[in-house]
């Protein structure tokens, strides 16, 4: 179930993956009958729909469907793909769909959610490439990949803490770190959408 979408982030990914416009056409026709005369009228309609005019959820689901066959299901696979000592197959700016268990760095009391009285959630705020974010990790022990969410998502996504998720995002450069193994990597994921599996 789709639980979070960053409209700008998912639009940028969609523009790169799905092109900037979708086109569709259909052919319709009608037959008009008059005694002794049959007349057939056909007209072809074509429309171009800008990706920016689509609902963010629609875009997220389209991108998810396109990337699902390439989904990375274990964080060790991401580590192998971005290991700075090996051949890099994922670079900054690459779209990535990553599956695993999400864990937020801040401790939350995410008791039962009451939509009529949502509890305020406070998280540590960081800066990533000039953007205000908070951090989580997608992991399968002992490996993890840091995932940065826009700060405006702090009231929504922490309720998924400890659940199995798929996170769609763009890889961003970060200083080298060890993601639970001997290798160093220099990439993190800037989240654009998230699904609970």
Residue corresponding to tokens 């290991």:
83
| 173 and 131 fall within a common domain | yes
| 92 and 124 fall within a common domain | yes
Give the helix/strand (H/E) hosting 64: helix 56-67
What's the pLDDT at 29?
38
CA distance 186 to 50: 34
| 98 and 73 fall within a common domain | yes
| 88 and 178 fall within a common domain | yes
What CA–CA distances, in Å, run from 51 to 12, 15, 194? Answer: 10, 7, 20
Could you tell me which residues are beta bridge partners of residue 165?
100, 196
| 80 and 132 fall within a common domain | yes
Whether the predicted model's global pTM rises above the 0.85 cut: no
Residue corresponding to tokens 């309720």:
159
What's the pLDDT at 23?
41
| 24 and 69 fall within a common domain | no
What's the pLDDT at 116?
85
Q: For the chain, 197 residues long, give each residue's pLDDT as a single digit of tens.
A: 999 999 999 988 888 876 533 443 334 333 333 444 444 444 444 444 577 778 889 888 988 888 887 777 777 777 777 665 556 567 888 888 888 999 987 766 656 777 788 777 888 899 999 999 999 999 877 788 899 999 999 888 888 888 999 999 999 999 988 887 667 888 899 999 999 99
| 60 and 44 fall within a common domain | no
The whole domain housing 64 covers 2-11+55-110+120-196
Structural domains counted in the chain:
2
| 68 and 155 fall within a common domain | yes
């Amino acid at each position: 179930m789709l639980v979070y979408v960053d409209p700008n982030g998912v639009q940028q990914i969609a523009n790169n993956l799905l092109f900037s416009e979708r086109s569709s056409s259909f052919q319709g026709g009608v037959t008009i009958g008059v005694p002794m005369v049959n007349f057939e009228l056909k007209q072809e309609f074509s429309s171009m729909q800008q990706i920016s005019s689509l609902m963010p959820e629609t875009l997220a689901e389209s991108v998810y469907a396109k990337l699902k066959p390439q989904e990375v299901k274990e964080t060790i696979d991401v580590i192998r793909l971005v290991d700075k000592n090996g051949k890099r197959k994922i670079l900054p700016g690459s779209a990535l769909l990553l599956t695993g268990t999400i864990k937020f760095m801040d401790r939350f009391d995410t008791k039962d959610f009451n939509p009529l009285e949502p509890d305020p959630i406070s998280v540590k705020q960081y800066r990533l490439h000039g953007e205000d974010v908070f951090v989580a990790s997608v992991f399968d022990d002992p490996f993890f990949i840091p995932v940065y969410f826009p700060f405006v998502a702090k009231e929504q996504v922490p309720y998924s803490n400890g659940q199995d998720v798929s996170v769609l995002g763009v890889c961003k450069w970060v200083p080298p770190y060890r993601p639970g193994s001997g290798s160093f990597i220099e990439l993190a994921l800037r989240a654009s959408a998230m699904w609970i599996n």
